[in-house]
Amino acid sequence: MIQSLDIISVNIWSILISLVNLLLLFLILKKFLFKPVTKVMNERQNQVTAIYADAEKDRQAAADMKQEYETRMAAAREEADGLVRDAVQTAQRKSDSIIADANSQAAHLKQKAEMEIELEKKQMLSDVKTEISDLAVSIAARIMEREVSQQDHADFVEQFIENVGENK
């Protein structure tokens, strides 16, 4: 028959056993729960710190790279601007000179042409004059049938031509 204890009973060995039990559980928890978990958490902390440091380094490198890129970009832009400006200037100059050339040439040609025209006109006028004077002399000789001195004749014709020119 199994007995049961009184509801309050004191037993030294029982107290000792429970004391040892608590110590045992303390050691168990320390060895099997706190040690591995703390170890893992510390490791993770270290890793996170390392990752943060890496990220900081990367960020720094990226910032540096960006800085460099920006300076380079600015330099390139300036260079391009300069090039364009130079090209525009050259082109301007060239076009100016071309236009000036063309203008001078045109003026030259015009002058030449005018001169030629003038010359031709003069030639023609003198030609016509001699022709007309000759004609007039012959006509006059024929009409008048009288000899006129060469000098009188010429004066007369010239006068006539003048008159013709005026009447016209």
Whole-angstrom distance between the N-terminal and C-terminal Cα of the chain?
174
**Residue 14 is a binding residue for other proteins (CB under 8 A):** yes
- Interacting residue with other proteins among 3, 149, 150, 151 (CB under 8 A): 3
Judged by beta carbon, residue 26 or residue 69, the one nearer other proteins is: 26
Rounded to 10 degrees, what is the CA torsion of 144, 148, 152, 155? 40
**Residue 107 is a binding residue for other proteins (CB under 8 A):** no
We find the least distance from the C-beta atom of residue 23 to other proteins, in angstroms, to be 7
Question: How many chain residues are in contact with other proteins, going by CB under 8 A?
Answer: 40
**Residue 32 is a binding residue for other proteins (CB under 8 A):** yes
**Residue 40 is a binding residue for other proteins (CB under 8 A):** yes
**Residue 43 is a binding residue for other proteins (CB under 8 A):** yes
**Residue 52 is a binding residue for other proteins (CB under 8 A):** no
Q: Report which residue type is found at 31.
A: K
Candidates 42-50, 69-77, 78-86, 128-136; binding stretch for other proteins (CB under 8 A) = 42-50
Between the CA of residue 22 and those of 10, 35, 118, 163, what are the distances in Å?
A: 18, 18, 138, 157
Between the CA of residue 130 and those of 21, 62, 68, 163, 167, what are the distances in Å?
A: 158, 100, 91, 16, 20
**Residue 51 is a binding residue for other proteins (CB under 8 A):** no
Between the CA of residue 122 and those of 27, 119, 157, what are the distances in Å?
A: 138, 5, 19
Judged by beta carbon, residue 4 or residue 150, the one nearer other proteins is: 4
Q: Is there a contact between 154 and 129 (Cβ–Cβ < 8 Å)?
A: no
